[in-house]
């Protein structure tokens, strides 16, 4: 490829692919919209200079096959956009002109030769939906990157529907003749080094990507045996292929660089471990161990991503795993989770661990202490190799101890905070009410499954006795004296879980009007049952309900 070229010349006669050890398509709405806005602005400016698409870095694989090392997000988007233009041209003209057919073969596909291919696990969807248009629905999209590919294509189609044939050719010409610079290398080490130090428009490389590049570069530099080098490069690439497949399944739930940090904590066996780039740089600076570190840490990375995939799969069906995810602190939770899964704990033992961790994290959130929970769990984390009972026993002891270093989360403090004022703490109060709802479901054995946290649409904490006093003499609420405002208005007994729409619809109504709408959740029915005789909501009822909720929380967590 020429160093300075055009999109047309870069694609013509070549086959470009994204290696499996590279990340999949990651551009979101913000980037795709900006892509089109920039092109539209260029066309409307009628400038004589060519549009510029930036720099692309390739590894030459021979026979006009090129692995793209940097710029794959832009090139994927360019291919999606060109395909959308040609679909619109076909719709307008019925059939493509001879010139358009030739250009399409140059840019996208001729016969069964595709000019650009994305990562293997997304490529068939890419061809079916974007290029060949044999798939027209969004069913069966397995990865977040597939969803992004479909979203980008659909967005471009929706925007191009307003274009006439002449406008389509104008913007196509801008893309085809857009200039770009390329650098092609046969030495992978040089390509990786350039990737590490090159900045480009788009999404900034993640720490995980930077570390992958550093590992490959160090292998090229420091492996003395060519056989060992080839073997280790293949191993690292295979590990990252599996890592990116895992990312494609769970990235909507968690950030890849966060998992990198959790891996760091598992690998160095400390919940205090942080700053992955710095820590990896330190290890790569050790002449006698850097190659072994690359091998072992990459293995640990792949294992962590695999275990996180397992967790988020289980979290969809296991209410205890889901509860841990909702309540816990990921930076502490997931190193424990990774260790537990890697050591093959049974389902029952994992639930014991999850419940214990949930208990201490719920206490931490309710009490709001500045004491560092990480320090109190780090020693049992270091010793944890699959026996959950040591972790469970530590947390159970923390619930009852009066030792000044440990007693921030004990039962006395926990109950005191549960019985107090939750003003400003609606988030944790809402979680407690969700837990209470599931408790009522289990207690009633109603035949209905436990509810996920997001089962109540846009859930909110409603003040049963409203925040702003209803002045009607027959409102059904007790007077708002100082004691009521200070001790009753914002306590758990006066909070109720509702959907956002339900909460907005009842506002500052009388208790009777509100009560008539309490028909959706078991805790709403509980309020109806408590007030069946008098239809009044007063301090005594609030105290009774608070006691029910607090007793449940104390007995369970």
Q: Where are the domains of the chain?
A: 4-197, 207-405, 426-556
* β-bridge partners, 58: 68, 184
Both tokens of residue 441? Answer: 């479901």
pLDDT digit string, tens, across residues 347-372: 999 999 999 999 999 999 999 989 99
Output the pLDDT for position 552.
98
Confidence of residue 249 (pLDDT cuts 50, 70, 90): confident
Mean predicted confidence (pLDDT) in 525-549: 96
pLDDT digit string, tens, across residues 12-59: 999 999 987 788 899 999 999 999 999 999 999 988 889 999 899 998
Give the Cα separation of 152 and 140 in Å (integer): 17
SS3 at position 537: strand
Give the Cα separation of 164 and 220 in Å (integer): 52
Mean predicted confidence (pLDDT) in 135-163: 93
Phi, psi of 135, rounded to the nearest 5 degrees: -110, 125
Cα 313 off chain centre by: 13
pLDDT digit string, tens, across residues 278-301: 999 999 999 999 999 999 999 999
Tokens 């470009």 appear where? Answer: 16
pLDDT digit string, tens, across residues 196-218: 655 444 457 789 988 998 998 89
Confidence of residue 450 (pLDDT cuts 50, 70, 90): confident
Q: How far is CA 72 from CA 140, 144, 331, 394, in A?
A: 24, 16, 31, 49
Output the pLDDT for position 203.
57
Give the Cα separation of 233 and 218 in Å (integer): 10
Give the Cα separation of 424 and 427 in Å (integer): 8
Mean predicted confidence (pLDDT) in 178-198: 75
Which DSSP state fits 492? Answer: G
- Give the chain's mean pLDDT: 92
């Amino acid at each position: 490829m020429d160093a300075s070229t055009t999109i047309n010349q870069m694609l013509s006669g070549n086959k470009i692919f994204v290696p499996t050890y590279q990340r999949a398509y990651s551009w979101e709405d913000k980037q795709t919209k900006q892509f089109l806005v920039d092109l539209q602005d260029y066309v409307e400016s009628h400038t004589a200079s060519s549009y510029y698409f930036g720099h692309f870095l390739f590894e030459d694989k021979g026979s006009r096959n090129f692995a793209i090392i940097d710029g794959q997000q832009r090139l994927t988007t360019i291919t999606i956009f060109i395909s959308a233009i040609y679909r619109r041209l076909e719709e307008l003209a019925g059939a493509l002109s001879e010139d358009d057919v030739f250009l399409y073969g140059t840019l996208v596909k001729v016969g069964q030769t595709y000019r650009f291919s994305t990562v293997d696990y997304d490529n068939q969807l890419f061809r079916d939906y974007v290029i060949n248009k044999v798939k027209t629905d969004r069913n069966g999209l397995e990865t977040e990157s597939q969803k992004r590919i479909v979203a980008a294509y659909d967005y471009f189609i929706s925007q191009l529907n307003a274009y006439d044939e002449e406008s389509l050719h104008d913007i196509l010409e801008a893309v085809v003749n857009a200039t770009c610079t390329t650098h092609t290398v046969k030495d992978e080490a040089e390509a990786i080094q350039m990737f590490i130090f090159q900045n480009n428009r788009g999404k900034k490389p993640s720490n995980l990507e930077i570390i992958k590049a550093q590992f490959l570069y160090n292998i090229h530099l420091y492996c003395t045996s060519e056989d060992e080098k080839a073997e280790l490069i293949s191993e690292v690439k295979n590990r990252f292929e599996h890592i990116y497949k895992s990312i494609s399944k769970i990235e909507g739930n968690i950030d890849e660089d966060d998992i990198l940090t959790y891996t760091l904590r598992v690998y160095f066996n400390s919940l205090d471990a942080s700053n992955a780039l710095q820590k990896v740089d330190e290890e790569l600076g050790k002449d006698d161990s850097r190659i072994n570190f690359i091998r072992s840490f990459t293995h640990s990375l792949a294992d962590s991503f695999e275990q996180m995939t397992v967790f988020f799969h289980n979290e969809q069906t296991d209410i205890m795993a889901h509860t841990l995810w909702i309540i816990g602190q990921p930076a502490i939770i997931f190193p424990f989770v990774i260790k537990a899964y890697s050591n093959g704990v049974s389902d029952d033992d994992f639930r014991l661990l999850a419940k214990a961790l949930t208990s201490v994290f719920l206490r931490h959130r309710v009490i709001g202490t500045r004491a560092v929970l990480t320090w109190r769990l780090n020693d049992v984390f270091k010793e944890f190799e699959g026996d959950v009972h040591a972790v469970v026993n530590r947390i159970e002891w923390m619930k009852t101890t009066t030792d000044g270093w440990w007693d921030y989360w004990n039962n006395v403090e926990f109950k005191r905070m549960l019985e107090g004022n939750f003003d400003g703490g609606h988030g944790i109060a809402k979680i407690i009410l969700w837990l209470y709802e599931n408790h009522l479901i289990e207690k009633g054995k109603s035949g209905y499954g436990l509810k996920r946290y997001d089962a109540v649409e846009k859930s909110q904490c409603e003040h049963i006795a409203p925040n702003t006093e209803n002045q009607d003499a027959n409102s059904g609420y007790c007077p708002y004296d100082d004691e009521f405002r200070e001790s009753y208005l914002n306590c758990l007994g006066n909070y109720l879980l509702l959907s956002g729409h339900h909460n907005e619809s009842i506002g500052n109504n009388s208790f009777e009007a509100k009560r008539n709408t309490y028909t959706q959740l078991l805790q709403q029915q509980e309020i109806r049952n408590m007030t069946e005789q008098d239809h009044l909501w007063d301090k005594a009822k609030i105290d009774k309900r608070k006691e029910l909720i607090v007793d449940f929380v104390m007995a369970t967590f």
